Amino acid sequence: MIGYSGVPAEDRLRVVAISHLRYDLTWLRDQRSGRGLESGQPMADAAGIDVSNFDGDFDWAGTSGLSFGICRATQGLGASGTNSPDPFLGWNWPRIKAKGLARGAYHFLDPNLSGAAQASYFVEKVSAVGLETTDMLWLDNETTGSSPAAVAACAREFMTKLVSLRPHNPRGVYSFFDFITAGNCAGLGGYPLWLAVFQSAAPTAPAPWSAWKFWQSGSTSSSDKDVYHGTAAELKAWINSFQSVQSPTLEEEVQSGQLNTGANALTVISVPHGSATNIAFGCDNGIQGLAPAVLRVAIFDTQWHVTNSVTVDSTKGQAVVSFPDPKSTGVISVTRKDAGEVIVGYEVS
């Protein structure tokens, strides 16, 4: 949900057959490094696909073995050149339901526009083709903005507004591994994750998430391949769970960013007293072909609490260090004990 210059960002990112060079290289490096493997992790049982305007009048009736289908609905606020609303939304929407699949739509976020306004626009356009409470609503967050913090803030604003508008619809956030670890999804960890990692082995989720709910695992010439982290029956139960729940419990985002690079590099992070309980670290050393990061983490409340060797390895998921006294914690000092080459992201929450 990568590409040609001179076409809209969403279109560039969706030309899978020709333009997925970065994902293809990622997949090859993943196979060599073992990045993202969950030891003993079974493959999710419920299979699905997602499509965009590039897939045209998709033949939903001709599919088999699927439990869900997701289609592109909107981008930004529908400016010229964005193909928004998606010209094939009216085609895909009723046919996904007619096939008996769990149905979903996604909005491609423009981080330079109001997140709340985009959520309203998304709901308006999907409602026009018949939005039901069992339909999944997804935010596609993969476009860079003025800063990762600004992108994350826009995405949080979108999701907050979406929940207020459609409290009973299943919803979540789509993004890819590197984009997440760069800090563009800070504060979104309380929403279900639809993770894009093109590889054959089930991935781990980068911070701020501890697990993924959906996984975009690959593509064909006409669609992207997805799986739900569970059986078809569990997918149905998950969708139904939103019918009586007003909103998910969100993690309070305090601060996020990237550690300084270089051997013995020091990063000092200030924390408002009582605002957080832990700090989580994540990296993608596997895709970079680098060794795991090793950190010395010192937490100050009324005294220093030092953990001399915290290993951050993408094959094992995020590394979390809890605060001994959250109410008094004010400063975190992180020193790189490795070569300092791999990029390490952090989030205090």
pLDDT at 245: 61
* Phi, psi (deg, nearest 5) at residue 241: -65, -20
pLDDT at 17: 34
Q: Which amino acid is at 62?
A: G
CATH class of the domain whose range is 255-348: mainly beta
| Burial (CB count within 10 angstroms: exposed 0-12, middle 13-18, buried 19+), residue 74 | buried
Q: How many angstroms separate the CA atoms of 183 and 292, rounded?
A: 19
* Phi, psi (deg, nearest 5) at residue 110: -105, 105
User: In the structure, what pLDDT confidence band is assigned to residue 88 with cuts at 50, 70 and 90?
Assistant: very high
336's CB contacts (< 8 A; 6+ apart) are 259, 260, 261, 262, 263, 264, 265, 266, 293, 294, 295
Mean pLDDT, residues 191-216 taken together:
94
Mean pLDDT, residues 180-201 taken together:
94
pLDDT at 86: 97
Higher pLDDT, 22 or 218: 218
Higher pLDDT, 318 or 305: 305
* pLDDT 10s digits, 145-158: 999 999 999 999 99
Q: Which amino acid is at 5?
A: S
Mean pLDDT, residues 204-218 taken together:
94
Mean pLDDT, residues 193-201 taken together:
93
**Highest-pLDDT range among 6-10, 25-29, 280-284, 291-295:** 291-295
pLDDT at 7: 42
Q: Are 226 and 244 in contact (CB under 8 A)?
A: no
pLDDT at 284: 82
pLDDT at 349: 85
106 pLDDT higher than 50 = yes
40 pLDDT higher than 50 = no
Long-range contacts of 83-89 (CB under 8 A, 24+ apart): 83/8, 83/10, 83/11, 83/53, 84/108, 84/125, 85/125, 85/128, 86/52, 86/53, 87/53, 88/51, 88/53, 88/55, 88/56, 88/57, 88/58, 89/125, 89/126, 89/129
Collapsed DSSP state (helix, strand, coil) of residue 294: strand
pLDDT at 1: 62
Mean pLDDT, residues 22-37 taken together:
37
Mean pLDDT, residues 78-103 taken together:
97
pLDDT at 19: 33
**% of the chain with per-residue pLDDT over 90:** 64
Higher pLDDT, 42 or 149: 149
3 state SS for 254-282:
CEEEECCCCCCCEEEEECCCCCCCEEEEE
CATH-assigned architecture of domain 9-244: Alpha-Beta Barrel (3.20)
174 pLDDT higher than 90 = yes
34 pLDDT higher than 80 = no
Mean pLDDT, residues 5-29 taken together:
38
25 pLDDT higher than 60 = no
**% of the chain with per-residue pLDDT over 70:** 85
267's CB contacts (< 8 A; 6+ apart) are 259, 260, 333, 334, 335, 346
Which pTM was predicted?
A: 0.63
- Spans of all domains in the chain: 9-244, 255-348
Q: Where are the alpha helices (DSSP H) in the chain?
A: 9-14, 16-19, 21-33, 89-98, 115-127, 148-165, 177-179, 232-241, 285-288
pLDDT at 254: 52
Mean pLDDT, residues 261-265 taken together:
90
Mean pLDDT, residues 263-267 taken together:
91
